[in-house]
Amino acid sequence: MEEFKKQLSFSLKEKKVIERLDVPHDIFLPLMFSIKFGGDWSLRFDSTKVMAIKEKITKFDDKKMIGYTLEIMFLFYNPVLLNQEGTVHRLEKCGNKKEREIVKRPYKVTIDSEYALKASLNPMTKKILLEKVNGPFEFSGSSAYGISHEMEHLLDNEINGESIFEFEYELNNGDI
Ligand SMILES: [Zn+2]
């Protein structure tokens, strides 16, 4: 019962915040998913495209031996890819597929969007700070891979990778 009350109060506050931000409820959905379930999310309906991309930064005090992992999530409404640089071969697990796939992602991406929101979740203070941010936005490394993955969903729906079964085992003494 206590847990249910907390859930209800959380949802009500979430609703109020969305109203104050003056954005349609649907646009906020991928961000809600990232907050509740983790990971990156994208949604496409009618001519609307939205995606939420998650970054993590651990802050650790070496003297006090205490820290926290700050989660920064970006919500992009109708994102457009402006530039991408470099090629990184990697394995990715898409929520829609059973096995991981071998894909190529850019190392750096620059995107812009009609509307962008940044959410910072601090598990120590238990606060979710929301701020409207303006592009263009540059990302590299794991956020760039996440953006490229979600953009692929928004444009083509399916991730086009090579099967994990393309891999071959090797023994370092060459016996197999
Ligand atoms: Zn996916």
CB 145 within 8 A of CB 102: no
CA 130 / ligand 1 centre spacing (Å): 25
Per-domain residue ranges for the chain? 2-160
CA 167 / ligand 1 centre spacing (Å): 21
User: For residue 15, what are the contacts with CB-CB under 8 A and spacing of at least 6?
Assistant: 25
CA 142 / ligand 1 centre spacing (Å): 14
How many angstroms separate the CA atoms of 164 and 100, rounded?
A: 6
CA 17 / ligand 1 centre spacing (Å): 28
pLDDT at residue 46, as a whole number = 83
Which stretch of DSSP H or E encloses residue 10? helix 2-21
* DSSP-assigned letter for residue 133: -
CA 146 / ligand 1 centre spacing (Å): 9
CA 97 / ligand 1 centre spacing (Å): 8
CA 149 / ligand 1 centre spacing (Å): 6
Give CA separation, 163 vs 97, 101, 168, in Å.
11, 5, 12
3-state secondary structure of 172: coil
Closest C-alpha to 145, from 105, 115, 111: 105
Strand partners, 57: 70
CATH class of 2-160: alpha beta
CA 159 / ligand 1 centre spacing (Å): 6
Question: Residue holding tokens 């005090």?
Answer: 61
pLDDT at residue 172, as a whole number = 86
CA 164 / ligand 1 centre spacing (Å): 15
pLDDT at residue 62, as a whole number = 97
CA 103 / ligand 1 centre spacing (Å): 12
pLDDT tens, per residue, the chain with 176 residues: 899 999 999 999 999 999 998 888 889 999 999 999 999 999 998 889 999 999 999 999 999 999 999 999 999 999 999 999 999 999 999 988 899 999 999 999 999 999 999 999 999 999 999 999 999 999 999 999 999 999 999 998 789 899 999 999 999 886 66
What pTM was estimated for this model as a whole? 0.91
Residues in the chain: 176
Cβ neighbours, 10 Å, residue 138: 14
